[in-house]
């Protein structure tokens, strides 16, 4: 169920983000691979859905990445692993606790 909510949050904001200027994009927490995450995710939508989903588990982020690949995200297996590691580390359960 959490994956479905995460997917709707990402897709809903992606559609809304098509009309929003890029200058309004939120900045990701500094960390290894943040530039890769920003580049790959922002290619299709703004970064707000990532913040909205902060606190989800590594498995949920993994499922969200599977969904994004299904929608056309092009990443190498190495990039995908780096993106997952970043999301799970900086926007995983500990991120929700820090809010």
Q: Please tell me the pTM assigned to this model.
A: 0.73
Q: How far is residue 96's CA from residue 66's CA, in Å, rounded to a whole number?
A: 22
pLDDT of residue 99: 53
pLDDT of residue 92: 94
Q: What residue segments make up the domains of the chain, in order of their start?
A: 2-16+26-98
pLDDT of residue 3: 63
Count of CB atoms situated within 10 Å of the CB of 87: 25
Q: Exposed e or buried b for every residue in 33-43, given b needs 16+ CB within 10 A?
A: beeebbebbbe
pLDDT of residue 24: 43
The pLDDT tens digits of the residues spanning 62-84 come to 999 999 999 999 999 999 999 99
For the chain, which ranges sit under pLDDT 50?
15, 18-25
Q: How far is residue 81's CA from residue 58's CA, in Å, rounded to a whole number?
A: 11
């Amino acid at each position: 169920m959490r994956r479905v909510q995460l997917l709707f949050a990402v897709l809903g904001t992606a559609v809304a983000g098509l009309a929003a200027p890029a200058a309004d994009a939120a900045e990701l927490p500094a960390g290894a691979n943040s530039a890769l995450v920003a580049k790959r995710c922002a290619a299709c939508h703004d970064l707000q859905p990532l913040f909205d989903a902060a606190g989800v588990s590594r498995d949920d982020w993994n499922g969200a990445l599977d969904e994004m690949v299904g929608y056309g995200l092009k990443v190498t297996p190495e990039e995908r692993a780096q993106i997952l590691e970043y999301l799970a580390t900086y926007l995983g359960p500990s991120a929700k606790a820090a809010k």
